[in-house]
Chain A
């Protein structure tokens, strides 16, 4: 059993040492993107200093080592989420890219006019708009699982949404705006009773919670590298081989083909069928370093530490007069969204920034959630493994100062 040493963890992230507006940085916008540990930064430098070359095509030495490194990432992702086979791991640009891929390709193969797609009321725009675009194109219908005032999905209503026209369920594992951890096992079990596959958006899950796609029996799972300590521009689509094989390719181009003539093109096999063109090689290779980093700390250690921090922060924030936490589900992860009576979230964000505290304000790309709660937006503090109780205390003091000015 490894122990969690917060001082060592913090020392691994060079950016955390900098100042902002003359104050030591308190970075609480991890739901948007995380900072990178030195090992990931070193991997980026190593890639460009020692191996930069295109992947999957050159016979020369550098191309072979960069291809090998890229494929190491695929294997590490496979182990990280416990996929059955490496070919089930598609390297994409990120969560949004992965969802669009499934919407387009699964949509092309399996969805027609009058068919139904189930999403939830707590999705962010990336898990709404790709399906709406598909509905515009195909004439299919979007059904939405409602949620209650605490930000928990209405599971009875969910079970009743199914019909013989339901073709896919696409929901978030952890809500980026509310922090709710959805009962994904139950969501998947109910969908499978109707022979309907499930896509889980795990962009806010994989860096906080151990994810096992075989145990979940999930059909598709997507996430981004940059929210889990890796560079931007790389993400993952996990899909069961039976679905990926049954779907047509996404984009056409290099790497995704076997033979091309002007009469006919034969497509490559999984996973390359879905990886047209030169990928973000650097980010792809360095995702492996981020996974190594998480594994070295231990995802269960991370979860235990972050859960304790979330509980501490929740209690501290609730002590502020007029502050209301948005999203109070039984099971939550790392996100604290809140509003303060009579004060606009934007104003709070500006005054916190002046004190070196980075939070996000606004609708968090999840406008329908804000509409349901009838608020213009929230202030969101989102935690990562390198945050501390001291960060929370500074946030609370900064908030007190801001509210004194703004109220």
Chain B
């Protein structure tokens, strides 16, 4: 699936949930599907700054595709990380760089993207794109 196809699928998934409680329960559930970062990579250099909770994000390039594994000590943040990984992981750095992440707005999580939000979703997206930028010519 392309990045946009995944985004569209998530938009459909979220449309299914009416109130905020179900939405957050789904986000927490998604956190459990996150490809977990190898304990050995839980190092300072892989921590994303700007989060009230701790987030580790590890990039790996495999046959031209960028894969992410991650973790967080807060379950909602972990769910948000999982969403981002679901959308961006397994695509080429160029595809990741060119992506407009419209799904965040459409599933009603735009508030989490403001630069001042303590969950650091924005820092997370930035960091994923930075990894893509750094690895695109490798």
Contacts and interface: CB of A to CB of B under 8 A. Distances in A.
Interface of A: 21, 343-347, 350-351, 354, 361-362, 376-377, 405-406
B75 A347 contact: yes
A346 B118 contact: yes
B52 interface: yes
Contact of A346 (B21, B25, B119): B119
A77 to B, nearest CB: 32
Contacts of B54: 376
A355 B88 CA distance: 31
B74 A346 contact: yes
Interface string B70-88: 0001111100000000000
Nearest to B119: A346
A351 B52 contact: no
Nearest to A363: B52
Contacts of B20: 21, 354
Contact of B24 (A344, A351, A362, A377): A351
A350 B76 contact: yes
A140 to B, nearest CB: 31
A344 B28 contact: no
B123 interface: no
A344 B74 CA distance: 5
Contacts of A361: 52, 118
A405 B119 contact: no
A376 B73 contact: yes
Interface of B: 20-21, 24-25, 28, 52-54, 73-77, 118-119
Nearest to B51: A346
A24 to B, nearest CB: 16
A405 B74 CA distance: 13
Contacts of A345: 52
A406 B119 CA distance: 16
Contacts of A346: 52-53, 74, 76-77, 118-119
8 contacts: A346-B52, A346-B53, A347-B77, A350-B24, A354-B20, A354-B21, A362-B118, A406-B75
B42 to A, nearest CB: 15
Contacts of A376: 53-54, 73
Give me the 7 closest cross-chain CB pairs, A-B, nearest first: A344-B74, A346-B74, A346-B53, A346-B52, A354-B20, A347-B76, A347-B74
A362 B25 contact: no
A310 B57 CA distance: 41
Contacts of A377: 52
Contacts of A350: 24, 76, 119
Contacts of B75: 343-344, 347, 406
Contacts of B118: 346, 361-362
Contacts of A343: 75
Given A351-B24, A361-B52, A376-B54, 13 more contacts: A344-B77, A346-B74, A346-B77, A346-B118, A347-B75, A350-B76, A351-B76, A361-B118, A362-B52, A376-B53, A405-B24, A405-B25, A406-B28
A351 B77 CA distance: 12
A21 B20 CA distance: 9
A309 to B, nearest CB: 27
Nearest to B23: A354
Contacts of A354: 20-21, 24
A345 B76 CA distance: 11
A283 to B, nearest CB: 23
B28 A405 contact: yes
Nearest to A361: B52
A358 to B, nearest CB: 14
Contact of A344 (B21, B25, B73): B73
A406 B27 CA distance: 11
A362 B54 CA distance: 11
A400 B74 CA distance: 17
A21 B52 CA distance: 22
A346 B54 CA distance: 10
B54 to A, nearest CB: 7
B66 to A, nearest CB: 27
